[in-house]
Amino acid sequence: MHDIRLIRDTPDAFDAALSRRGLAPVAADILALDEARRKLILAAETAQAEANKASKDVGAAKARGDDAEFDRLRGLIADSKARIAAMNDEAKAKDQALTDLLATLPNLPDPSVPDGKDEADNVEIRRHGAPRNFSFAPVEHYEIAGIKPGMDFETAAKLSGSRFVLLSGAVARLHRALAQFMLDLHVDEHGLTETITPVMVREDMMYGTGQLPKFGEDSYQTTNGWWLIPTAEVTLTNIVNGETVEESTLPRRHVAHTLCFRSEAGSAGRDTSGMLRQHQFEKVEMVSITTPDQSAAEHERMTRCAQTVLERLGLPYRTVVLCAGDMGAGATKTHDIEVWLPGQNTYREISSVSVCGDYQARRMNARFRPTGGGKPEFVHTLNGSGLAVGRTLIAVVENGQQEDGSVDLPAALHPYLGGKTRITAEGVLG
């Protein structure tokens, strides 16, 4: 959601910011609705004041026996009630139309975000590690001999359809170990608060973080109205929905490991092989709630938290700043972290870390009370993967694959695997 006062004061700048996302000017439409709404409110208030005066005068007319004036004033009051009700109803309709229009608009890009239309215009800001030189042609995760026994797409398709996977044995344990490793790292070293949240939420929670009303087709809704979360960003961020918190309690830093559900509505034909793009997956999600002056530094800190996971696992990656045309709707700035996948011979996204400014806070009406006094202000919200568990598993096995079909596993995971260091070509931990 956007500050209507900012649009009134700087409509051209508002349109210019939206144009960086490839959107047409809309400030004139917003201001026309806003002006019509304000005029109706003023007219209703003026008419109400006149009706209130007439109500006082009608008693005086009755007392002095002026029947003509008494009847005139009674008619004026009755007419005013109908006109005031009509104006209030129209003002509410204009207000709802304004709210609906603002709710469909994305966040404004931060001035530091590069211009561009799509991922080709993203700007690399960091690269860590070098891709391994293989003495053989590396294959994708689902083609590795030692992984095949524990990664069953056929049975999952029988159970649920396409874009699902059944993990078992060594692969399932590796998946669990990765999630546990990530949580321990974020809690013990990065100071995040581990949080267990529901995976079904009310509709207004999806609205609060921006998945609704525009992106409902990307998620799943139950028959009784709950929505399955696409990420724990929804639950963790909405903890402060409707709240006014004390500045002294900020920043609040949460981490949660949850199931996530996405319809992948716009991804037909993309990544259909393997488990890179699934309807159901697991993710370790980070969310921070901050004051405005903290959010830029918090964005960098969260990015480092996600990068550290990859560094501890010995996985090469690069970090890019998304251009204005490639950012998600709720973000004002996003860092994408892309891990090297030798099976595809390219970097693929494994984490997006975004600062949303007060965009989500306005939708949620989430504020903080300044320590030094003054009016409550909107908090800033940030979210980021720390990391997507399935994609991290893909990266681990592809980068650790050996020519005989076995997989060497990162040392950081050995304690979580009972001291085992590899998955054999037969698909067991060894």
* Nearest residue to 119 (alpha-carbon basis) of 336, 341, 326, 328: 326
In angstroms, the first-to-last Cα distance of the chain is: 53
Q: What are phi and psi of 126, to 5 degrees?
A: -160, 145
The three-class DSSP label of residue 410 is coil
Tokens of residue 100, six digits: 């609906």
Which strand (E) or helix (H) includes residue 12?
helix 11-19
Q: How far apart are CA 61 and CA 402, in angstroms?
A: 100
Q: How far apart are CA 257 and CA 197, in angstroms?
A: 9
126 half-sphere exposure, CB direction, 13 A CA radius: 16
Amino acid of residue 293: D
344 half-sphere exposure, CB direction, 13 A CA radius: 17
Instruction: List the Cα angle 367/370/373 in 5-degree steps.
Output: 130
* Sign of the CA dihedral running 127, 183, 396, 141: negative
Tokens of residue 226, six digits: 């709950």
* Nearest residue to 180 (alpha-carbon basis) of 265, 257, 94: 257
Q: How far apart are CA 71 and CA 122, in angstroms?
A: 73
Long-range Cβ pairs for the range 182-185 (8 Å, 24+): 182/257, 182/284, 182/309, 182/386, 182/387, 182/389, 182/392, 183/255, 183/257, 183/284, 185/308, 185/309, 185/312
Cis ω for the linkage preceding 18 (within 30 of 0): no
State the catalytic residues. 262, 277, 349, 352, 391
Which strand (E) or helix (H) includes residue 259?
strand 252-261
